[in-house]
Amino acid sequence: MVVLDSPLQDTATARDAAADYVADHCPWADLDSVLLVVSELVTNAVRHTSGWWRLTLRADAKELVVEIDDASYEPPVAREPDFGGGGGFGWHMVQRLAGRVEVRPLPEGKRVRAIWPCPAEAR
């Protein structure tokens, strides 16, 4: 398991840690998809919350789980993409790239969880 806490870490460090973790523990996962999701989740936590965040990656024989806990109680909201530079692509991308996405409230914020199932042939 990998755990990174703000303010000691940033998006680049989170991506590097995720790349190492996937290579070592779940090489079956689509690395590009995982790195895009990690980047989006960390960037959104930095951009849209006013406090701490914690990124956790863990894997077992069945799945890879990427979680980010942050200080905001507000769930992510899908926005209409703005091709003029206003964003709105991230949450749509997270939902399409991960096998499953969950959002759960926490006592001090929320948890966003992206899950990729391990293909049967890789088990």
- Amino acid letter, residue 108: E
Tokens of 73: 């109680």
Angle between helices 11-25 and 31-48 (to 10 degrees): 150
Strand partners, 113: 67, 102
Q: How high is the pLDDT of residue 6?
A: 84
Task: Spell 27-63 as b/e; 16+ CB within 10 A means b.
Answer: eebeeebbbbbbbbbbebbeeebeeebbbbbebeeee
Question: What is the chain's pLDDT, residue by residue, as a tens digit (123 residues)?
Answer: 999 898 777 899 999 999 999 999 999 999 999 999 999 999 989 888 877 899 999 999 999 999 999 999 999 988 887 778 777 778 999 999 999 999 999 999 999 999 999 998 877
Q: What structural domains does the chain harbor?
A: 2-117 (3.30.565.10)
Q: How high is the pLDDT of residue 50?
A: 78
